[in-house]
Amino acid sequence: MIRSMVFLIMMLAFCFTEATAAQTASEYLRNRGGESQDSEDPLIAAFIRTLSASKEGRWTEVEANVSDLTPVLKKYATQFRVDLAPRLKKGAAANDSNEIAKSFAHVLFLGMSENFHQAIEERFKNYERSSYLLATALYYYERVLAGNIKRKEPSVHDEIMRQFEQAQLAIGNPGLLGAGKLDPDPQRFASAAKAIEMNIKRVYTYFAK
């Protein structure tokens, strides 16, 4: 019950909050226009399009999608020192749909990590903004990464979801007209984010390479 309520709050923030601070890669893609014309997150939309094209053998489309992601991939290469562009380009050149799926899953993992880092850098000054960033990170996990973890290590998935709940609690709560206000706990949030990332890497071992 608690988990479902936390998830609902996070998804409401994801759907309705407009970002006002520094852009994440997803926000950059959305503001560029043309990357996603519906309500889907731009990184997720790019993942779906690219994976579908690779499975159907539309490799020119795959290459174009990878090219569209160049600014995002450069940003992640600088921020995390993980350059996924060569892997994606190699997978497309080799018509290797498995490599495309693996590398794009890694892109979404870095997108999740970026949102954690952005929330910490912004020091949780805006509750709705912090909730949005965390909800997006959860969405990346649930939409792309959780399936394999549930199948291979169900207990690891349970722990990851528990840590997402801890992260949600750590961003605090403005209360209602100040009543019930809870200050954010940056250390608790950082600890939860680190635990989430480490547990994901227990299953997606190639993310650590």
DSSP string, 12-41: HHHHHPPP-SSPPHHHHHHHHSSS-SSSS-
70 domain-assigned: yes
For residue 181, give Cα distances in angstroms to 127, 171, 175, 176. Answer: 11, 11, 4, 7
Residue 25 falls inside a structural domain:
no
Please check whether residue 185 lies inside any domain of the structure. yes
Residue 105 domain flag: yes
| pLDDT tens, the chain, 209 aa long | 445 544 444 544 444 343 334 789 888 888 876 444 457 899 999 999 999 999 999 999 999 999 999 999 999 999 999 999 999 999 999 999 999 999 999 999 999 999 999 999 999 999 999 999 999 999 999 999 999 999 999 999 999 999 999 999 999 988 776 677 889 999 999 999 999 999 999 999 999 87
- Domain range for 78 is 2-14+40-208
Q: Report the length, in residues, of the chain.
A: 209
Q: How many domains does the chain have?
A: 1
Task: Indicate the pTM of the whole model.
Answer: 0.86
Task: Indicate whether 128 belongs to any domain.
Answer: yes
| Residue 122 forms part of a structural domain | yes
C-alpha–C-alpha distance, residues 167 and 186, integer Å: 9
* Structural domain contains residue 31: no
